[in-house]
Structure 1
Amino acid sequence: MRSELAGEKRQFGHRARLALTPAQIRLVDDQAHAARTMWNLLHDWWKMLPREQRSLAAADAAIRQARKEIDWLAVLPAQAAQAVLKTYLQAWKNCWDGRADEPNFKARFRTVMSVDIPQGRDLNITRVHRRWGMVNIPKAGRVRFRWTKDLPVGKRADADNRITGARLVKDALGWHIAFRVQTLQSKPEPHPGPEVGIDVGVTVPLALSDGKTYDHGEWLTEKEQAELLRLEQRAAHRKTFRKRGEKPSRRLRATYDQIQALRARAKRRHLEWQHQTTTDIAKKYGAVVVEALSITNMVKSAKGAIDRPGKNVAQKSGLNRSISQEAWGRTVELLTYKAARHGGAVHKVPAPGTSQRCSACGFTTPGSRECQATFVCKNPDCGWYGNADHNAARNVLHLYRIGLVAIPAAGRSSRQARKRVKPTTAR
């Protein structure tokens, strides 16, 4: 009983690659299209029906009737159809609570193909050998998947450690299965590690206040980059033959698929680097301090208006593209939950002025950065110079130590959410 009280339930997802046969691929594709169509039919039915007649029972009856009258909707398992209804109602609840916009129509080419498997007991997962496992997919049979993480299956599964469900998701590299895993783990002890400030950038992705940096190279090899350029040129050439309003040809769609596959490969490598980097930081440091960046405002276009055009539009466009590719927001999200898992915490501080302040004397002046990589203090009594990214990271840590922490609050502006609090530890 004491061990149960000391533990806490944690839910996380694990994604694995599926090895489907061509027949199974066609079947799962049909299920995904049926799930998308079920959502659209349910959305139209909900919008046309008077408010007083909308209810869960009426929606469930409409779904059952649609599966009986439309033959190709029956390819979707009944439990997956119920999951579509549950997701749709949850979308409306999020809208009513102010957390999201209204649910909308799901277009064929702009929607991620997916099928939900709500009950974990239907999966019947077994491990074949070190690299592969087997999972049961409704109406598709037994399918192999890549075993890259130990899962609570077989004798290791119990009421607290088990797989509660899964979801089939298709991207440019094929079909994957995302398991929903529930585990009971002991609460972590407070992390004894030091505090660290982090400055994010484009040239240097992550610069730490203790002088360490985390860098990465290109996500695609030279051969893959040349292949991507060749495919993009081919797609641009084939696009010139398409008339306005005409659907893309089969060859053009095949070229687009090849481009998406290369970009998905680069994204997967980037995500792997982010996971490894954030795990290393969460293990070493007890308090991680980052800037509260408004990335949406940072990547706004500089085109301006017709009467007032923008300046350096091409340079700003390239900078926006580089910022979006670095995915700083995802890095902070990964750091947040991994630091909490190891007993640490992530804190956010206001971003303005961190790159213009001298971390040695505190003197702030514009133009202190001689170039992108060097910071030179303009204070005649100081004259300190060093790496600009590490200087900004030390300023980020300084703001946390003096208690200037940005606390997000629902319904408040960023200026109202900023609040001075005492730091957790004085060093």
Structure 2
Amino acid sequence: MSDPCAVRQFSGHRARLALDAALARKIDAQAHAARALWNLLHVWWQMTPREQRVAAHADAVIRQARKEIDWLGALPAQAAQGVLKTYLRAWQNCWDGRAGAPTFKSRGKSTMSVDIPQGGNLQVVRVHRRWGTVSIPKIGHVKFRWTRHLPVGRNANGGNRITGARLVKDALGWHITFRIQTLEPMPTPHAGPEVGIDLGITVPLFLSDGTAFRHDPWLSAKEQAKLLRLERTAARRKARRTPGRPRSRRLDITYGQIAGLRAKAKRRALDWQHKTTTATAERYSTVVVEQLNITNMVKSAKGPLKAPGRHVRQKSGLNRAISGEAWGRTMELLAYKTARRGGSLVKVPAAGTSRRCSTCGRTTAGSRESQAVFVCKNPDCGWSGNADHNASRNVLHLYRIGLVVIPAAGRAVARRARRVKPATAR
């Protein structure tokens, strides 16, 4: 009998596949067939009258196409149904205002992927400590890197099981992402302290208790030099290319090497974010961050032709640095990790947190002497310290006085909530 206090959790786990050249070509063929099927569905959608655009008609079209087109047969039937469901869901998201209308998927720009909707067909087995095997439809048993406990064998039941998977290819090769369902006890309220966090670039995460999380560059000096050399080589080869002709094989190889280095940097960044957010969620009960409109923050300063902007190159470098830190992903990780541990993530207005003194509460001109140092110019205060530390203390204070951001009707609205705890001296 299942625990009535247990809650159902859904998560994903990505693992690297160990493929030889023949198996990689087979999965490539399935991914290309899935992309082509999406494009065929899009053509059928545009040519079909509105009243006939239903799932049953689309399913019949897919079945007929798989019979008549040989290379579409490389895609398993369940994966073809997954393409249809994804396409219909994309239109539903468009109608609900969550995304734009679906478009064609190009061969060079779209992500190669194959969906495996049924988890029972995977037959996941752990071979030994580092490797496991998974059965992929029309491919066979494939080894994958075992880095996390999975609900398989005796650990699998109605509440804990793998519900499906997805094969995804990036610059580092093919990976499999398992969709996992677990039944876990209801989390008890977290007993840890509250903390405010200031998101930055020089110091990615600065906490109100003085803790600072830093990281080294995602690529070593040797890797950065190699990336710069490859980018220059790609620029030269692209300039020599005749307009209207396909890219040369050398240019494709160079683009692949560049993508490999960038994918390696992204993987290291994601690993650091997971470790940092996990440590924060385990220690603190309430994590308070600023409500940032990152999309507006990374807009270009180029401006129109009639009114060109200033310091465009400096702003471009700042935009790249902000995008490289992936603040939005950090907040998403903190949101679900704090919730699973009985805590919560709260957002407060960001206006003035970096210019206001966290001790006297006043905003005095000239207090922000530099990007890293804050010295309060109020004669009655004079507090000095790290600017990011000062901002994180202000973030926490806004929460303690009840000024939090509450989503309302698709927009964030700052409201002064009922004060639960009085503001205390920090």
Give the TM-score normalised by the residue count of structure 2: 0.97
Matched, 1:420 2:419: no
Preserved contact between residue 281 and residue 343 of structure 2 (Cα < 8 Å): yes
C-alpha RMSD of the superposition = 1.1
In the aligned structure 2, how far is the partner of 1:152 from the partner of 1:16? 15
Match of 2:314 in 1: 315
Task: Give how far 1:148 is off.
Answer: 0.1
SS at 1:323's partner residue?
A: helix
Measure the CA separation in 2 of the matches of 1:311 and 1:378.
Answer: 30
**1:211 match: secondary structure:** coil
Tell me if the contact between 2:17 and 2:144 (Cα under 8 Å) persists in the aligned partners: yes
**Superposition deviation, residue 367 in structure 1:** 2.7
Conserved 8 A contact 2:192-2:284: yes
Written as runs of structure 1 = structure 2, the 5 A alignment for 1:28-47 is: 28-47=27-46
What is the CA distance between 1:98 and its match in structure 2? 2.0
Secondary structure in 2 matching 1:228? helix
Cα separation, 1, equivalents of 2:83 and 2:315? 41
Counterpart residue identity of residue 293, structure 2: S
Deviations 1:379-425 (A, max 9, x none): 1111111110000000000100111101112334x4xx221112444
Alpha-carbon distance, 1:21 to partner:
1.3
Structure 2 equivalent of residue 197 of structure 1: 196
Structure 2 distance, partners of 1:410, 1:103, is 25
Unaligned runs of 5+ in 2: none
- Aligned residue for 2:337, secondary structure, equals helix
1:290-369 matches, cutoff 5 A: 290-369=289-368
What is the match of residue 135 of structure 1?
A: 134
Deviation at 1:326, TM superposition (A): 0.4
1:234 Cα deviation from its structure 2 partner: 1.4
Deviations along 1:199-252, one digit per CA (max 9) or x if unpaired, are: 010111000000110000111112211211221121122122102233211100
CA distance in 2 between counterparts of 1:93 and 1:204 reads 40
Cα-to-partner distance string for 1:154-193 (whole Å, 9 max, x where unaligned): 1110011000000000000000000000000001100000
Cα separation, 2, equivalents of 1:393 and 1:185 = 33
Matched AA of 2:416: R
What is the match of residue 148 of structure 2?
A: 149
Amino acid at match of 2:310: K
Secondary structure of the corresponding residue to residue 408 of structure 1: strand
On the 8 A contact 2:365/2:377 being kept in 1, the answer is no
- 1:96: Cα distance to partner? 1.8
CA distance in 2, matches of 1:54, 1:271: 40
> Cα distance, 1:15 vs. partner?
0.3
Map 1:146-295 to 2 at 5 A. 146-295=145-294
For structure 1, which segment, 259-268 or 234-243, has the greater mean C-alpha deviation from structure 2 after superposition? 234-243
Which residue number in structure 1 is paired with residue 50 of structure 2? 51
What SS does structure 1 have at the residue aligned with 2:408?
A: coil
Which amino acid is 1:89 matched to?
A: L
Cα distance 1:123–1:423, how it changes in 2: closer, same or farther (>3 A)?
Answer: farther
Offset of 1:92 from its aligned partner? 1.3
Q: In the aligned structure 2, how far is the partner of 1:228 from the partner of 1:102?
A: 35
C-alpha separation in 2, matches of 1:317 and 1:222: 22
Partner of 1:381: helix, strand, or coil?
Answer: coil
The residue matched to 1:224 in structure 2 has which SS?
A: helix
The alignment of Structure 1 onto Structure 2 pairs a total of residues equal to 423
CA–CA distance in 2 between the matches of 1:124 and 1:40? 31
Unaligned runs of 5+ in 1: none
Is contact 2:23–2:139 with CA below 8 Å preserved after alignment?
yes
Aligned position for 2:112 = 113
Cα distance in 2 between the residues matched to 1:366 and 1:137? 64
- Secondary structure of the residue aligned to 2:319 is helix
Give the letter aligned to residue 156 of structure 1. Answer: N
Q: Percent identity?
A: 67
TM-score of the two chains, using structure 1 as the length reference: 0.97
Please report how far the alpha carbon of residue 129 of structure 1 lies from its aligned counterpart in structure 2 after TM superposition: 0.5
